[in-house]
Structure 1
Amino acid sequence: MATTGALLAVVTGLVGACGGDDPAEPEPSSDATPLSADAPFLELGSFVSTEVEGHELVEDSTIQLGFADDTMSVWAGCNTMFGAFTVEGGVLRWSHEPASTMIGCEEDLAVQDEWLRDLFLAGLAATTDGTALDLAVDDVTIAMEPEPQADLETLLGRTWSVVGTISDGTTSRVPPRVRTPRLVVGDDGLARLDTGCNTGRTRVTVDSTSVTFAPPTTTRAACPEPTNSVEQVVLSVVDGRSDYLRYDGSVLVLVKDGAGLVFQIT
């Protein structure tokens, strides 16, 4: 559910574990309905924190949580972290170390990003009344409400940089040695396409719920691995109508026929 300057890098460094006993597994409250992985209300896609207790957020920042297919994204004023997620026993967590955009931000926001990464890797008890989402672990509670999706018309006239791919149920960063795939989209929807290896053209059409690409025309140079694998995901998504998307104004996740791309919109 990932902003950049010239070129986005993606980081996947692990945060070292602290000493002492392992934290207790969070348990959902008996007074609410535990979240399930197939909860229909997750189709609302994007949530924003309305109240956080047990931890003080950086002034004027909120936590934004996005879901698209099997990918969960988290943003709190600096970098966007994203990766595959699970919900087991009412506990919501990333299933592995998330990828992240990498932009320069103030130290307090960078520290907040690290706190959130640890929080969602460890897992939070998640409960819902069918609309709101409540998260809790240890002494921290986060109340969240649905957030309207950004107007898809604002995707036109901007540059879309691919920072992650979704394939076979796995969300991965674009390998550092692969040139960043991107679309430079004009106000009229005509777009220059770079797959990370080949270049070409397509046309982007948006409506209130989806993005549609005209069949792309590209050069046909042979691409080495892992560039070839990234290009194949790009070409499978950038051709036809998306099956599912989430867009928050800066990060766009598109899924089509089981493959997906995480774009940073600048």
Structure 2
Amino acid sequence: MPWNLLRRTAPTGPARSLRTDRRARRTARAVTAGAVLAASATMLGACSNSQESAAPDASGPAPTATGQEGAPAMTDAPTPADLDGAVFTSTAVTGHELVPGSAIEAAFQGDTASLHAGCNRLFGGYTIAEGTFTVPQAASTMMACEPALMDQDQWLTQLLATGTTIGLDGDTLTLAGAAGTPFDGTVITFARQG
């Protein structure tokens, strides 16, 4: 058989599976690299500490009536525009004891919230609907810390996924655990930084 016809014939047997395996590995590496780049871009955006505040929404904060027993009286739920570019640090936490020397930081950029409870940074898209603040699928950095701080990260992740009542009064942000959840009675009070 002439040489040029042999080259055009598809390999069979072990040669074919080796080529297929190489192609699959190359594709997997390309997909992984794309995912890493996308995650890096998201984390860089979430880690931004922009102190610029957005122009206030002309309609102002949306009033809500929480009606949740045990939750503090909060009448004004902020809009994402009210929070955009803001950074808050916890001043008080009830219903959960923070690890000594730690605090919770919350930063907002666009429709992304970034929170830090002493170890890993949690970040993800958030919603505010009818006065309830939720980060349904928070991603996290993966640093190893002392177990108490890692437990605190887990507690915060679960609190955010469950949803909290949110209120903004001037420079004071308040998150309160929803009634009927394991976080009922939990209240985090934050002060705006900068």
TM class by smaller structure = 0.5 to 0.7
The equivalent of 2:62 in structure 1 is none
The equivalent of 1:66 in structure 2 is 107
Spell out the pairing of 1:83-102 with structure 2 (5 A cutoff).
83-94=124-135, 96-102=136-142
Q: 2:94 aligns with which of 53, 72, 76?
A: 53
Shift of 1:43: 3.1
CA distance in structure 2 between the partners assigned to 1:36 and 1:115 by the alignment:
24
Runs of 4+ more than 6 Å apart:
none
Say whether 1:147 aligns with 2:193.
yes
The equivalent of 1:116 in structure 2 is 156
CA distance in structure 1 between the partners assigned to 2:78 and 2:139 by the alignment:
24
Q: 2:174 aligns with which of 112, 120, 134?
A: 134
For the 8 Å contact 2:78–2:168, the answer to whether it is kept is: no
Number of equivalences = 124
RMSD of aligned residue pairs (Cα, Å): 2.3
Shift of 1:26: 5.6
CA distance in structure 1 between the partners assigned to 2:69 and 2:112 by the alignment:
23
SS of residue matched to 1:120: helix
Shift of 1:33: 2.4
SS of residue matched to 2:84: helix
- Over 3 Å counting, the alpha-carbon distance change for 1:132 and 1:39 in structure 2 is farther
- Over 3 Å counting, the alpha-carbon distance change for 1:130 and 1:92 in structure 2 is same
1:71-123 deviations in whole A, cap 9, x for unaligned? 001101100010000000111111x3111111110000000000000000001
- Larger strand percent: 1
Structure 1: state its 5+ residue gaps: 3-24, 149-266
SS of residue matched to 2:115: strand
The equivalent of 2:143 in structure 1 is 103
For the 8 Å contact 1:34–1:89, the answer to whether it is kept is: no
Structure 2: state its 5+ residue gaps: 1-42, 45-66, 178-183
Say whether 1:33 aligns with 2:75.
yes
SS of residue matched to 2:102: coil
For the 8 Å contact 2:104–2:117, the answer to whether it is kept is: yes
- Over 3 Å counting, the alpha-carbon distance change for 1:26 and 1:68 in structure 2 is farther
Shift of 1:27: 7.3
- Over 3 Å counting, the alpha-carbon distance change for 1:117 and 1:79 in structure 2 is same
What one-letter code is carried by the residue in structure 1 that aligns with 2:97?
E
- Larger helix percent: 2
- Structure 1 vs Structure 2: percent identity of aligned residues? 39
For the 8 Å contact 2:119–2:150, the answer to whether it is kept is: yes
For the 8 Å contact 2:171–2:192, the answer to whether it is kept is: yes
What one-letter code is carried by the residue in structure 1 that aligns with 2:149?
L
SS of residue matched to 1:62: coil
TM-score by length of 2: 0.58
CA distance in structure 2 between the partners assigned to 1:145 and 1:108 by the alignment:
24
For the 8 Å contact 2:72–2:176, the answer to whether it is kept is: no
Spell out the pairing of 1:1-266 with structure 2 (5 A cutoff).
31-40=73-82, 42-94=83-135, 96-137=136-177, 138-148=184-194
Shift of 1:128: 1.5
CA distance in structure 1 between the partners assigned to 2:68 and 2:155 by the alignment:
16
Structure of larger gyration radius:
2
CA distance in structure 2 between the partners assigned to 1:54 and 1:135 by the alignment:
12
SS of residue matched to 1:58: coil
